[in-house]
Amino acid sequence: MADGFNSHTIEYYVETKDGEDKQLIAQAQLDIDGKVDERVNNRDREQVLEHYLEKIASVYDSLYTAVETNSPVNLRQLVKGNSPAV
């Protein structure tokens, strides 16, 4: 949970299609001053998007590797940022 008055924790998850497995992939903190992780102004959409994409990049990297190598995707591997088995 975020520290301080009116601070919020933003959590990013991936989950299976059936919803039975849900894994936290990243977190960010939104503070009372409108800063995400103490450095990104939440009013700057471009910076917020870039920060978000940085947070979830390992998931997309793993998915890309799986598609390129025709490998199965394991949810826990995505969360840990590991590439699927080749």
State if pTM tops 0.85.
Answer: no
Q: Is residue 85 part of a domain?
A: no
CA nearest to 68, candidates 46, 56, 84? 84
Encode pLDDT of 58-67 as tens digits.
Answer: 888 888 988 9
Q: Is residue 2 part of a domain?
A: no
Q: Is residue 45 part of a domain?
A: yes
Q: Is residue 71 part of a domain?
A: yes
Residue 58 and residue 50 in contact, taking contact as beta carbons nearer than 8 Å: no
Is residue 86 pLDDT above 50, yes or no?
A: no
Per the structure, how many domains does the chain have? Answer: 1
Domain assignment of residue 15, given as a range: 8-80
Cα→Cα distances 76→5, 15, 25, 33, 79, Å = 34, 10, 10, 34, 5
Encode pLDDT of 2-29 as tens digits.
Answer: 566 778 999 999 888 898 989 899 999 9
Residue 35 and residue 48 in contact, taking contact as beta carbons nearer than 8 Å: no
Check residue 45 and give its pLDDT. 97
Q: Is residue 3 part of a domain?
A: no
Q: Is residue 86 part of a domain?
A: no
φ/ψ of 40, rounded to 5, equals -110, 125
Q: Is residue 1 part of a domain?
A: no
Is residue 35 pLDDT above 80, yes or no?
A: yes
